[in-house]
Protein backbone atom coordinates (compact mmCIF):
# COMPACT_ATOMS: atom_id res chain seq x y z
CA UNK A 1 0.00 0.00 0.00
CA UNK A 2 1.18 3.51 -0.81
CA UNK A 3 2.74 5.60 1.97
CA UNK A 4 0.51 8.68 2.06
CA UNK A 5 3.10 10.75 3.93
CA UNK A 6 5.35 10.60 0.85
CA UNK A 7 2.72 12.73 -0.93
CA UNK A 8 2.75 15.38 1.79
CA UNK A 9 4.63 18.62 1.11
CA UNK A 10 7.34 18.78 3.75
CA UNK A 11 9.40 21.54 5.30
CA UNK A 12 13.06 21.03 4.43
CA UNK A 13 15.99 23.19 5.50
CA UNK A 14 19.51 22.19 4.49
CA UNK A 15 22.57 24.28 5.27
CA UNK A 16 25.21 23.61 2.62
CA UNK A 17 27.97 25.37 0.73
CA UNK A 18 26.94 25.94 -2.88
CA UNK A 19 29.16 27.53 -5.50
CA UNK A 20 28.76 31.30 -5.73
CA UNK A 21 30.28 34.47 -7.13
CA UNK A 22 32.12 37.21 -5.30
CA UNK A 23 29.82 40.21 -5.58
CA UNK A 24 26.32 38.71 -5.97
CA UNK A 25 24.03 36.63 -3.80
CA UNK A 26 21.90 34.36 -5.98
CA UNK A 27 18.54 33.12 -4.77
CA UNK A 28 16.87 30.62 -7.07
CA UNK A 29 13.19 30.54 -6.24
CA UNK A 30 10.36 28.28 -7.35
CA UNK A 31 7.09 29.53 -5.83
CA UNK A 32 5.05 26.47 -6.68
CA UNK A 33 1.44 25.70 -5.87
CA UNK A 34 2.49 23.11 -3.28
CA UNK A 35 5.78 24.52 -2.02
CA UNK A 36 8.32 27.30 -2.19
CA UNK A 37 11.63 25.76 -3.21
CA UNK A 38 14.78 27.81 -2.75
CA UNK A 39 18.50 27.46 -3.48
CA UNK A 40 21.11 29.98 -2.33
CA UNK A 41 24.89 30.03 -1.82
CA UNK A 42 24.45 28.65 1.72
CA UNK A 43 21.26 26.58 1.68
CA UNK A 44 18.51 24.62 -0.03
CA UNK A 45 15.01 24.79 1.42
CA UNK A 46 11.38 23.89 0.88
CA UNK A 47 8.36 25.46 2.59
CA UNK A 48 4.74 24.39 2.00
CA UNK A 49 2.89 27.05 -0.02
CA UNK A 50 0.25 27.96 2.50
CA UNK A 51 -0.17 30.89 4.86
CA UNK A 52 -2.99 32.11 7.09
CA UNK A 53 -3.39 35.56 8.58
CA UNK A 54 -3.52 35.67 12.37
CA UNK A 55 -6.40 37.94 13.29
CA UNK A 56 -6.56 37.38 17.05
CA UNK A 57 -3.85 38.52 19.47
CA UNK A 58 -1.04 35.99 19.30
CA UNK A 59 -0.82 33.68 22.29
CA UNK A 60 1.97 31.16 22.07
CA UNK A 61 1.49 28.09 24.22
CA UNK A 62 4.41 25.74 24.70
CA UNK A 63 7.61 25.63 22.71
CA UNK A 64 7.54 26.44 19.01
CA UNK A 65 8.40 23.58 16.68
CA UNK A 66 11.56 23.80 14.59
CA UNK A 67 9.48 24.28 11.42
CA UNK A 68 6.99 26.77 12.88
CA UNK A 69 7.23 29.98 10.89
CA UNK A 70 5.61 33.41 11.16
CA UNK A 71 5.77 36.44 8.85
CA UNK A 72 5.17 40.06 9.90
CA UNK A 73 4.57 42.84 7.38
CA UNK A 74 6.16 46.04 8.67
CA UNK A 75 3.93 48.23 6.48
CA UNK A 76 0.56 46.80 7.54
CA UNK A 77 1.49 45.16 10.84
CA UNK A 78 -0.20 41.93 9.71
CA UNK A 79 1.12 38.63 11.06
CA UNK A 80 0.80 35.39 9.10
CA UNK A 81 1.35 31.78 10.05
CA UNK A 82 3.33 30.13 7.23
CA UNK A 83 4.12 26.65 5.95
CA UNK A 84 3.60 23.40 7.83
CA UNK A 85 2.12 24.97 10.94
CA UNK A 86 -0.37 26.93 8.83
CA UNK A 87 -1.41 23.76 7.00
CA UNK A 88 -1.95 21.95 10.28
CA UNK A 89 -4.45 24.63 11.31
CA UNK A 90 -6.73 23.91 8.33
CA UNK A 91 -9.83 21.88 9.16
CA UNK A 92 -12.19 19.94 6.93
CA UNK A 93 -14.87 22.57 7.51
CA UNK A 94 -12.53 25.45 6.66
CA UNK A 95 -13.65 27.16 3.44
CA UNK A 96 -11.94 30.54 3.64
CA UNK A 97 -9.41 29.67 0.93
CA UNK A 98 -10.86 28.60 -2.41
CA UNK A 99 -8.99 26.31 -4.79
CA UNK A 100 -9.06 29.08 -7.39
CA UNK A 101 -7.50 31.60 -5.02
CA UNK A 102 -4.74 29.21 -3.97
CA UNK A 103 -3.96 27.48 -7.25
CA UNK A 104 -5.13 29.87 -9.96
CA UNK A 105 -2.67 31.40 -12.43
CA UNK A 106 -3.60 34.96 -11.50
CA UNK A 107 -2.38 34.76 -7.92
CA UNK A 108 0.72 36.93 -8.29
CA UNK A 109 -0.74 39.96 -6.54
CA UNK A 110 -2.75 38.12 -3.90
CA UNK A 111 -1.76 38.81 -0.27
CA UNK A 112 -0.77 35.17 0.27
CA UNK A 113 1.52 35.08 -2.77
CA UNK A 114 3.38 38.16 -1.50
CA UNK A 115 3.81 36.53 1.92
CA UNK A 116 5.10 33.28 0.39
CA UNK A 117 7.43 35.08 -2.02
CA UNK A 118 8.92 37.18 0.77
CA UNK A 119 9.34 34.16 3.01
CA UNK A 120 11.19 32.43 0.15
CA UNK A 121 13.45 35.44 -0.29
CA UNK A 122 14.01 35.90 3.42
CA UNK A 123 14.99 32.30 4.14
CA UNK A 124 17.45 32.49 1.25
CA UNK A 125 19.09 35.53 2.87
CA UNK A 126 19.61 34.08 6.35
CA UNK A 127 23.27 34.02 7.33
CA UNK A 128 24.82 30.73 8.42
CA UNK A 129 28.27 29.12 8.63
CA UNK A 130 28.38 28.85 4.84
CA UNK A 131 27.96 32.52 4.04
CA UNK A 132 26.04 35.78 4.23
CA UNK A 133 24.44 38.08 1.66
CA UNK A 134 25.71 41.19 3.44
CA UNK A 135 27.28 43.66 1.01
CA UNK A 136 26.31 41.60 -2.05
CA UNK A 137 24.02 42.34 -4.95
CA UNK A 138 20.81 40.28 -4.70
CA UNK A 139 19.89 38.41 -7.90
CA UNK A 140 16.74 36.28 -8.02
CA UNK A 141 16.28 33.53 -10.63
CA UNK A 142 12.86 31.96 -10.98
CA UNK A 143 10.92 30.06 -13.62
CA UNK A 144 7.52 29.57 -15.23
CA UNK A 145 5.77 26.81 -17.20
CA UNK A 146 6.84 27.20 -20.85
CA UNK A 147 3.36 28.12 -22.06
CA UNK A 148 3.19 31.02 -19.58
CA UNK A 149 6.59 32.57 -20.25
CA UNK A 150 5.43 35.30 -22.64
CA UNK A 151 2.39 36.47 -20.69
CA UNK A 152 3.47 35.92 -17.08
CA UNK A 153 7.15 36.95 -17.09
CA UNK A 154 6.51 40.70 -16.70
CA UNK A 155 3.86 39.98 -14.06
CA UNK A 156 6.05 37.83 -11.82
CA UNK A 157 8.95 40.28 -12.19
CA UNK A 158 6.69 43.09 -11.02
CA UNK A 159 5.36 40.97 -8.14
CA UNK A 160 8.82 40.10 -6.80
CA UNK A 161 10.65 43.39 -7.37
CA UNK A 162 10.54 46.64 -5.43
CA UNK A 163 10.90 47.52 -1.73
CA UNK A 164 10.54 44.82 0.93
CA UNK A 165 10.29 45.32 4.68
CA UNK A 166 9.22 42.32 6.77
CA UNK A 167 10.19 40.12 9.71
CA UNK A 168 10.42 36.34 10.00
CA UNK A 169 10.29 34.17 13.09
CA UNK A 170 11.40 30.57 12.65
CA UNK A 171 10.95 28.14 15.50
CA UNK A 172 12.04 29.60 18.85
CA UNK A 173 14.41 32.09 17.21
CA UNK A 174 13.87 35.82 17.64
CA UNK A 175 12.16 37.87 14.93
CA UNK A 176 14.62 38.75 12.15
CA UNK A 177 14.16 41.82 9.97
CA UNK A 178 14.61 41.91 6.18
CA UNK A 179 14.64 45.36 4.58
CA UNK A 180 15.91 45.60 1.00
CA UNK A 181 15.09 46.80 -2.50
CA UNK A 182 15.06 44.29 -5.36
CA UNK A 183 15.40 45.97 -8.79
CA UNK A 184 13.20 44.50 -11.51
CA UNK A 185 16.24 43.89 -13.71
CA UNK A 186 17.61 41.62 -10.96
CA UNK A 187 14.62 39.26 -11.27
CA UNK A 188 15.38 36.69 -13.97
CA UNK A 189 12.83 34.25 -15.41
CA UNK A 190 13.37 31.04 -17.38
CA UNK A 191 11.27 28.05 -18.50
CA UNK A 192 10.81 25.59 -15.63
CA UNK A 193 11.81 22.33 -17.40
CA UNK A 194 15.01 23.98 -18.66
CA UNK A 195 15.98 24.13 -15.00
CA UNK A 196 15.95 20.34 -14.84
CA UNK A 197 17.96 20.03 -18.06
CA UNK A 198 20.65 22.27 -16.60
CA UNK A 199 20.51 20.43 -13.27
CA UNK A 200 21.15 16.98 -14.80
CA UNK A 201 23.95 18.50 -16.90
CA UNK A 202 25.75 20.34 -14.08
CA UNK A 203 27.84 19.07 -11.18
CA UNK A 204 28.03 20.50 -7.67
CA UNK A 205 30.67 23.02 -8.78
CA UNK A 206 28.50 24.51 -11.52
CA UNK A 207 30.49 22.78 -14.27
CA UNK A 208 29.03 20.71 -17.09
CA UNK A 209 29.38 16.96 -16.52
CA UNK A 210 30.98 14.82 -19.28
CA UNK A 211 27.55 13.45 -20.30
CA UNK A 212 26.16 16.96 -20.85
CA UNK A 213 27.25 17.15 -24.50
CA UNK A 214 25.59 13.80 -25.14
CA UNK A 215 22.37 15.02 -23.52
CA UNK A 216 22.27 18.21 -25.57
CA UNK A 217 22.88 16.36 -28.86
CA UNK A 218 20.34 13.63 -28.15
CA UNK A 219 16.55 13.54 -28.35
CA UNK A 220 15.35 14.17 -24.80
CA UNK A 221 12.00 14.79 -23.17
CA UNK A 222 11.74 16.56 -19.81
CA UNK A 223 8.72 15.08 -17.96
CA UNK A 224 7.79 17.52 -15.19
CA UNK A 225 4.53 16.84 -13.35
CA UNK A 226 4.12 19.39 -10.58
CA UNK A 227 1.25 20.29 -8.31
CA UNK A 228 -0.74 22.58 -10.58
CA UNK A 229 0.60 21.75 -14.04
CA UNK A 230 2.26 18.97 -16.00
CA UNK A 231 4.96 20.33 -18.31
CA UNK A 232 6.90 18.65 -21.09
CA UNK A 233 9.96 20.04 -22.82
CA UNK A 234 11.20 18.34 -26.00
CA UNK A 235 14.85 18.85 -26.93
CA UNK A 236 16.41 17.46 -30.12
CA UNK A 237 20.07 17.98 -31.02
CA UNK A 238 20.48 21.13 -28.87
CA UNK A 239 17.28 22.66 -30.28
CA UNK A 240 13.98 23.06 -28.46
CA UNK A 241 11.46 21.22 -30.62
CA UNK A 242 8.34 21.95 -28.57
CA UNK A 243 6.88 22.34 -25.12
CA UNK A 244 3.49 21.67 -23.60
CA UNK A 245 1.74 22.68 -20.38
CA UNK A 246 -1.34 20.83 -19.09
CA UNK A 247 -3.27 22.15 -16.11
CA UNK A 248 -5.41 19.01 -15.69
CA UNK A 249 -2.59 16.61 -14.78
CA UNK A 250 -0.54 16.84 -11.60
CA UNK A 251 -0.82 16.44 -7.83
CA UNK A 252 -3.74 18.85 -7.56
CA UNK A 253 -5.74 16.56 -9.85
CA UNK A 254 -4.65 13.53 -7.77
CA UNK A 255 -5.90 15.18 -4.59
CA UNK A 256 -9.12 16.31 -6.29
CA UNK A 257 -9.79 12.72 -7.39
CA UNK A 258 -9.00 11.50 -3.87
CA UNK A 259 -11.29 14.08 -2.27
CA UNK A 260 -14.13 13.23 -4.65
CA UNK A 261 -13.87 9.49 -3.97
CA UNK A 262 -13.74 10.02 -0.19
CA UNK A 263 -16.93 12.06 -0.40
CA UNK A 264 -18.63 9.46 -2.62
CA UNK A 265 -17.64 6.57 -0.37
CA UNK A 266 -17.78 8.11 3.11
CA UNK A 267 -19.94 11.24 2.70
CA UNK A 268 -17.07 13.31 4.11
CA UNK A 269 -15.66 16.28 2.24
CA UNK A 270 -11.96 17.08 2.53
CA UNK A 271 -11.13 20.12 0.35
CA UNK A 272 -7.83 20.01 -1.50
CA UNK A 273 -6.27 22.81 0.66
CA UNK A 274 -7.05 20.69 3.76
CA UNK A 275 -5.76 17.43 2.30
CA UNK A 276 -2.10 18.07 3.19
CA UNK A 277 -2.94 17.85 6.89
CA UNK A 278 -4.30 14.32 6.51
CA UNK A 279 -1.57 12.93 4.26
CA UNK A 280 0.82 12.49 7.19
CA UNK A 281 -1.32 9.80 8.83
CA UNK A 282 -3.34 8.74 5.81
CA UNK A 283 -6.47 8.87 7.93
CA UNK A 284 -9.43 11.17 8.51
CA UNK A 285 -12.16 11.17 11.13
CA UNK A 286 -15.59 10.02 9.97
CA UNK A 287 -18.25 11.56 12.22
CA UNK A 288 -21.90 10.71 12.81
CA UNK A 289 -23.76 13.55 14.50
CA UNK A 290 -26.93 11.56 15.01
CA UNK A 291 -25.24 8.58 16.64
CA UNK A 292 -22.50 10.73 18.22
CA UNK A 293 -19.76 8.43 16.96
CA UNK A 294 -16.34 8.92 15.38
CA UNK A 295 -14.13 6.51 13.47
CA UNK A 296 -10.68 6.69 11.90
CA UNK A 297 -10.79 5.92 8.19
CA UNK A 298 -7.71 5.14 6.08
CA UNK A 299 -7.71 6.58 2.55
CA UNK A 300 -4.34 5.21 1.36
CA UNK A 301 -6.03 2.91 -1.15
CA UNK A 302 -8.06 5.78 -2.59
CA UNK A 303 -4.97 7.99 -2.93
CA UNK A 304 -3.00 5.18 -4.55
CA UNK A 305 -5.76 4.57 -7.08
CA UNK A 306 -6.09 8.28 -7.90
CA UNK A 307 -2.34 8.71 -8.30
CA UNK A 308 -2.07 5.72 -10.62
CA UNK A 309 -5.02 6.94 -12.70
CA UNK A 310 -3.57 10.43 -13.21
CA UNK A 311 -0.05 9.10 -13.83
CA UNK A 312 -1.35 6.79 -16.57
CA UNK A 313 -3.29 9.69 -18.13
CA UNK A 314 -0.11 11.77 -18.15
CA UNK A 315 1.84 8.94 -19.79
CA UNK A 316 -0.84 8.34 -22.41
CA UNK A 317 -0.98 12.08 -23.17
CA UNK A 318 2.80 12.13 -23.52
CA UNK A 319 2.89 9.10 -25.80
CA UNK A 320 0.15 10.47 -28.03
CA UNK A 321 2.09 13.70 -28.57
CA UNK A 322 5.61 12.28 -28.85
CA UNK A 323 5.11 9.11 -30.95
CA UNK A 324 5.27 6.81 -27.90
CA UNK A 325 8.83 8.10 -27.28
CA UNK A 326 10.11 5.65 -29.90
CA UNK A 327 12.39 8.40 -31.28
CA UNK A 328 13.69 9.59 -27.90
CA UNK A 329 16.93 8.63 -26.20
CA UNK A 330 16.17 10.02 -22.73
CA UNK A 331 13.14 10.66 -20.55
CA UNK A 332 14.01 12.91 -17.62
CA UNK A 333 11.55 12.65 -14.72
CA UNK A 334 11.52 15.57 -12.34
CA UNK A 335 9.42 17.33 -9.70
CA UNK A 336 7.76 16.10 -6.50
CA UNK A 337 4.95 14.40 -8.39
CA UNK A 338 7.54 12.87 -10.71
CA UNK A 339 9.20 11.32 -7.63
CA UNK A 340 5.87 9.76 -6.62
CA UNK A 341 5.40 8.37 -10.13
CA UNK A 342 9.01 7.42 -10.94
CA UNK A 343 8.72 3.67 -10.35
CA UNK A 344 5.47 3.50 -12.33
CA UNK A 345 7.12 5.35 -15.22
CA UNK A 346 10.17 3.07 -15.19
CA UNK A 347 7.93 0.02 -15.20
CA UNK A 348 5.79 1.42 -18.02
CA UNK A 349 8.78 1.87 -20.33
CA UNK A 350 10.79 -1.13 -19.09
CA UNK A 351 10.57 -2.87 -22.45
CA UNK A 352 12.11 0.02 -24.40
CA UNK A 353 15.86 -0.61 -24.60
CA UNK A 354 16.37 2.59 -26.62
CA UNK A 355 14.91 4.85 -23.92
CA UNK A 356 16.86 5.68 -20.76
CA UNK A 357 14.94 7.05 -17.74
CA UNK A 358 16.91 9.69 -15.83
CA UNK A 359 15.91 11.10 -12.42
CA UNK A 360 16.07 14.90 -12.30
CA UNK A 361 18.18 14.88 -9.13
CA UNK A 362 20.91 12.57 -10.44
CA UNK A 363 23.79 15.01 -9.82
CA UNK A 364 22.92 15.80 -6.23
CA UNK A 365 21.74 14.19 -3.01
CA UNK A 366 18.78 16.58 -2.82
CA UNK A 367 15.21 15.31 -3.28
CA UNK A 368 13.51 15.54 -6.70
CA UNK A 369 11.63 18.69 -5.76
CA UNK A 370 14.86 20.70 -5.97
CA UNK A 371 15.69 19.66 -9.56
CA UNK A 372 14.25 22.74 -11.26
CA UNK A 373 15.37 25.28 -8.69
CA UNK A 374 18.90 23.82 -8.59
CA UNK A 375 19.01 24.24 -12.37
CA UNK A 376 17.79 27.84 -12.05
CA UNK A 377 20.65 28.50 -9.67
CA UNK A 378 23.27 26.85 -11.88
CA UNK A 379 22.06 28.82 -14.89
CA UNK A 380 22.36 32.15 -13.12
CA UNK A 381 25.66 31.11 -11.57
CA UNK A 382 27.03 30.50 -15.07
CA UNK A 383 25.74 33.87 -16.33
CA UNK A 384 27.30 35.78 -13.44
CA UNK A 385 30.57 33.90 -13.77
CA UNK A 386 30.73 34.91 -17.42
CA UNK A 387 30.01 38.54 -16.52
CA UNK A 388 32.63 38.45 -13.76
CA UNK A 389 35.22 36.98 -16.12
CA UNK A 390 34.42 39.60 -18.77
CA UNK A 391 34.77 42.42 -16.24
CA UNK A 392 38.12 41.08 -15.02
CA UNK A 393 39.42 40.93 -18.60
CA UNK A 394 38.24 44.51 -19.23
CA UNK A 395 40.09 45.68 -16.13
Q: What is the CA radius of gyration of the chain?
A: 21
What 3-state class would DSSP assign to 319?
Answer: helix
- Contact predicate 311/345, CB 8 Å: yes
Rounded to two decimals, the pTM is 0.88
- Contact predicate 229/245, CB 8 Å: yes
**Mean pLDDT calculated for residue range 241-269:** 90
- Band of the pLDDT at 25, cuts 50, 70, 90? very high
User: What percent of the chain has a predicted confidence (pLDDT) above 70?
Assistant: 91
- Band of the pLDDT at 247, cuts 50, 70, 90? confident
Backbone angles phi, psi at 28, to 5 degrees: -90, 130
pLDDT score at 6:
83
Q: How does strand 230-236 pair with strand 219-225?
A: antiparallel
Is 9-198+366-394 a CATH 3.30.420.40 domain? yes
pLDDT score at 100:
47
Residue 253 to residue 236: CA distance in whole angstroms: 30
Q: Is residue 1 predicted with pLDDT exceeding 80?
A: no
Q: Give the tens place of pLDDT for each residue, 114-160.
A: 999 999 999 999 999 999 999 999 999 999 877 788 899 999 999 99
- Contact predicate 377/37, CB 8 Å: no
Residue ranges covered by each domain of the chain: 9-198+366-394
Residue 235 to residue 216: CA distance in whole angstroms: 8
- Contact predicate 368/336, CB 8 Å: yes
Q: Give the tens place of pLDDT for each residue, 300-321.
A: 999 999 999 999 999 999 999 9
296 beta partners = 285
Which among 183, 176, 179 is positioned nearest to 137, based on CA atoms? 183
Amino acid sequence: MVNTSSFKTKTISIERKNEGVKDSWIIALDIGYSAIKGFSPNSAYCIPSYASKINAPLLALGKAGVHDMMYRDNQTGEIWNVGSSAQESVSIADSKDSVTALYGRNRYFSPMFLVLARVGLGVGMIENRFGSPNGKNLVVQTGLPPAYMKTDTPIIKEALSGPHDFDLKIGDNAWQNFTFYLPEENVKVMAQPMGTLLSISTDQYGKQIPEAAKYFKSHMLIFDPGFGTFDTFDIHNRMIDSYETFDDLGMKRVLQETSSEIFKKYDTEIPVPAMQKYLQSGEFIKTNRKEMTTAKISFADILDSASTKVCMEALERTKSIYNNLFDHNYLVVTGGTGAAWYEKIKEHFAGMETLKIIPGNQNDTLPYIFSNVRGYYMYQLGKLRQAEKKNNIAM
